[in-house]
Amino acid sequence: MIRKIFKKNNSNPKLDAILEKYKIPKEFLSINRKMVSRAVMVGLFIAMIPMPMQMLAVILISPFFRFNVPIAISLVWITNPFTMPFIYYTEYLTGNFFLMQEGVNDIEMSMEWFQKNIGDIFIPLYLGTAFYSLLFSIGGYYLVNWLWIISVNSEKKKKKDSYDKEVR
């Protein structure tokens, strides 16, 4: 169904002019199963990494892995200023669980505290980050692929059923 919505939008002359002016490949805006699945994978992977300028990271990765850039950039915003503390704290706790250590208990939301404790939280945080980045990106990739295939097969079945009714 989502595929149909994207497919209905025809080419916009203004958008085509911008793409041509800045020499941006149209592939970065294409809507097909591979491009959308890859966009979900890259967007979710980058979203789970605690780093500044995640959208820029998506753009810098785009020449190496062809994917739909707007979808990947929009998925990066899963980790926004409201969700970041919860997601990164969960990643930190998961990293501590994998390392079988207790971790820091008296967490404060200040730059002084982070500068003082960066050595204690860095490895558990990025271990948890690696786990969730891989889990969500690979899971999202296969989920989008699976849902896309189910959608296409459902549409084919509906067309076949309507054709069979017309023939009778």
Residue 164 resides in a domain:
no
Residue 165 forms part of a structural domain: no
Yes or no: say if 48 and 94 are a contact pair by the CB < 8 Å rule: no
Scan for tokens 């025809």, then name that residue.
Answer: 10
Would you give the distance in Å from CA 44 to the centre of its chain? 3
> Which tens digits make up the pLDDT trace of 48-102?
999 999 999 999 998 888 898 889 999 999 999 899 989 998 999 999 999 998 8
The answer to whether 165 and 128 are in contact (CB under 8 A) is: no
Domain of 42 in residue numbering reads as 2-155
Total structural domains within the chain: 1
Q: Is residue 161 a part of any domain in this protein?
A: no
pLDDT at 145 over 80: yes
Tens-digit pLDDT profile for residues 153-167: 998 888 887 777 777
DSSP string for residues in 44-65: HHHHTS--S-HHHHHHHHTTTS
Confidence of residue 23 (pLDDT cuts 50, 70, 90): low
The pLDDT of residue 7 is 59
- Measured CA to CA, the distance from residue 4 to residue 38 in angstroms comes to 19
167 inside domain: no
In a domain, 160, yes or no: no
Amino acid at 16: D
Ordered DSSP codes for 73-141: HHHHTTS-TTTHHHHHHHHHHHHHHHHT-----S--SSHHHHHHHHHHHHHHHHHHHHHHHHHHHHHHH
The verdict on residue 162 lying in a domain is: no
Alpha-carbon dihedral of residues 97, 125, 139, 1, nearest 10 degrees? 130
Question: Is 151 part of a structural domain of the chain?
Answer: yes
Task: Say whether pLDDT at 12 is over 80.
Answer: no
> Could you report the per-residue pLDDT of 25-54, keeping only the tens digit for each?
667 777 888 999 999 999 999 999 999 999
Is residue 4 scored above 80 in pLDDT?
no
- Is 71 within a domain? yes
Tokens 């785009």 map to which residue?
62
